[in-house]
Structure 1
Amino acid sequence: MKLLLVCAAVLVVASCVSISLEDLEFHAWKLKFEKSYSSPSEEAKRREIWLTNRKLVLVHNIMADQGIKSYRLGMTYFADMENEEYKQLILRSFNANQSGHGSTFLRVTNDLPDTVDWRDKGYVTPIKDQKQCGSCWAFSATGSLEGQNFRKTGKLVSLSEQQLVDCSGDYGNMGCDGGLMDQAFDYIKANGGIDTEDSYPYEAEDGKCRYNPANIGATCTGHVDIKQFDEDALKEAVATIGPVSVAIDASHVSFQLYTSGVYNEPDCSSTELDHGVLAVGYGTENGQDYWLIKNSWGLGWGDEGYIMMSRNKNNQCGIATAASYPLV
């Protein structure tokens, strides 16, 4: 009987310690991402979702430690969201068929470097954060234009995503409800330029257009569309031109909670796309080819805002389905 009581006491203590550690982790996570909730019941709900995602992360990372998975997950900003909520809040459907009206990318060489990272050459601005606004398309477009503008002028100027959100509706974009990079390029060309980020800062909500031609940071004379589904063509464009706007399927919980490694999601769609990002390079890690992708979800997601996505896996996640870059 004494032995049973001792065992029971040990189990109770262990359970309390486990719960206490989870509470501490949840509290630390809330502080890190400045999370607050409207009521105790809302916090309790979020904590349960967070715990469910925590278990998923732990199991996945055990498999990563064993070499079964090529990437790791973590408790990102989205860890208190169910996957469906994450998709509805952050992602927007991306109709690749509406793209493809630009000039066609003409391939000229097969002699390409094994590794490219345009961050090292000064083409890429720091990681930005679109927050809870479906403006990924704007960040992808400015990222590619920032790179091409640097290539032309030697100056890296951060450009205004908010201007695209507020002002490009006549070109088919819908602000925080979604848009297309090609349509952003069309607007910038017709408008005669885009303001700097400093003069027209990001607000993460739809607003009235406040474009000021005195504050133009870059111009655009058109855009080039890369052959659909062709990763080799995309590789050549990234290697020879600079950062390229791409659209992907980012709908899976594995993307929601990604933190490091080469992302390999066999269930990814190559045609059902919902997120605009920026391809800033490519390479190979541990025998696995990857695309180096800049996201717009802040430094607290992924590998300090970046993700390595599988390359040469049949256009996984649609990386080469709707790729383009601006002309300057």
Structure 2
Amino acid sequence: MRVLLAVAALLVGVVSASLEDLEFQEWKLKFGKKYHLMEEESKRKMNWMTNRKLVLEHNMLADQGLKTYRLGMNHFADMDNQEYRQMLKGFFNRNKAHNATTLLQKTEGSAAALPDTVDWRTRGYVTGVKTQGICGSCWAFSVTGALEGQMFRKTGRLVSLSEQQLVDCTTRNFGCDGGYLDRAFDYVMKNRGLDTEASYPYEDRQWKCRFNPKTVGATCTGYRSTRSGDEKALQEAVATIGPISVVIDAGQVSFQHYTSGVYNEPHCSSGKYHAVLVVGYGTENGQDYWLVKNSWGTLWGENGYIKMSRNKYNQCGIATEPYYPLV
């Protein structure tokens, strides 16, 4: 009898391992993962299995109503969190205040008149989700997103703009090694234009500047910011102006594997490491959220978006350094 039980246990272990192997191979195919060395494959699989366990345990809590969001096995699933954090080199944290031209002045009682829900995607202000790849260019994608929205507001035409020009030509930023939002807006203003994406497509690397004034898709006359840390002021800006560039702490393992729901991470700091675009806000199952467009492709999050907690003491620093352009 003991022999039969031992054999049965062994078979269960073999089947479980086989299913894990199959799932790992399917995941590799889905995300186009290829490892050239056996040592690399082994390391990546160990990371993947550790993350799979974390995802399953978190989602069990979500099923019980103890978490407001779910995790998934996205293209970061073969990275440990330290490696993932090292990848987040797109925005430099700084304590010095920004120097936007003016601040949006929040009028007394204006918050009461704001809509409960805003989604600028439904009104044509937002281009499709883009992919920054391994280049630390999140700052460029955030800036083009804000400019695309304001140019649509001005002209009624939605034109995708060139992140590559910002990466190549913004000399006061650092290309694929990161940058600042205000310096990018300042560059577009002084350069008197930003080319369209069609004329200056993204390459996932820094190259020589090839700006062509004949293919400009947007101009910028200045840029503004809301009061730092004030979510009500940010809400007013999103509701009345359009998509707003912000920077957040995206370094938590929960952000790394986020897939759906309202992201509520009490361990999030106000440190600013990743630039994104707020395109709206709302409430889901009693949880206020910011609707945020990321630049990691449509296979991350909710088709490339994340709902981040709103009115939770500026969680993840989302209202710390917001910008929008004047066009």
TM-score bracket, shorter-length normalisation:
over 0.9
TM-score by length of 2: 0.97
**Which consecutive residues of structure 2, in runs of 5 or more, have no partner in the other structure?**
none
- After TM superposition, what 4+ stretches of structure 1 lie above 4 angstroms from structure 2? none
Contact preservation (8 Å) 1:94, 1:179? no
Contact 1:90 1:132 in 2 (8 A): no
8 Å contact from structure 1 (residues 96, 273) kept in 2 = no
The Cα shift of 1:101 comes to 2.8
Q: Identify the residue that residue 268 of structure 2 maps to in structure 1.
A: 268
- Contact kept, 8 Å, 2:248 with 2:318, in 1: the verdict is yes
2:254 paired residue number? 254
What are the equivalent positions in structure 2 for 1:24-173 lying under 5 Å apart? 24-92=22-90, 93-95=92-94, 97=96, 99-108=98-107, 109-110=110-111, 111-169=113-171, 172-173=172-173
In the alignment, the residues of structure 1 paired with residue 118 and residue 314 of structure 2 have an alpha-carbon distance, to the nearest angstrom, of: 19
Alpha-carbon contact 1:104-1:227 (below 8 Å) kept: yes
Mapped to 2, the partners of 1:76 and 1:112 lie a distance apart of 36
Q: 1:38 Cα deviation (Å)?
A: 2.1
Once the two structures are TM-superposed, the CA of residue 76 in structure 1 deviates from its matched residue by 1.0
Q: Structure 1 residue 181: deviation in Å?
A: 1.3
Cα-to-partner distance string for 1:40-78 (whole Å, 9 max, x where unaligned): 110011000000000000000000000111100011111
Letter in 2 for 1:22: E
Counterpart-to-counterpart distance in 1, 2:319 and 2:194: 26
In the alignment, the residues of structure 2 paired with residue 130 and residue 175 of structure 1 have an alpha-carbon distance, to the nearest angstrom, of 12
Cross-structure match for 1:301: 300
**Residues of 1 paired with 2:35 and 2:93: CA distance?**
31
Partner SS state of residue 79, structure 1: coil
Partner letter of residue 13 of structure 2? S
The answer to whether the Cα contact below 8 Å between 1:99 and 1:180 also exists between their aligned partners in 2 is no
Shift of 1:98: 5.2
Structure 2 CA distance for aligned equivalents of residues 98 and 8 of structure 1: 66
Task: Tell me the matched-pair count.
Answer: 323
CA distance 1:75–1:300, change in 2 (3 Å): same
Task: Determine the structure 1 residue equivalent to 2:245.
Answer: 245
Q: After TM superposition, give the deviation of residue 12 of structure 1 in Å.
A: 1.0
Secondary structure (helix, strand or coil) at the match of 2:223 reads: strand
- Percent of aligned positions with the same letter in both sequences? 62
What TM-score comes out, normalization by structure 1 length?
0.97
Paired with 1:261 and 1:130, the residues of 2 have a C-alpha distance of 23
Matched position secondary structure for 1:80: coil
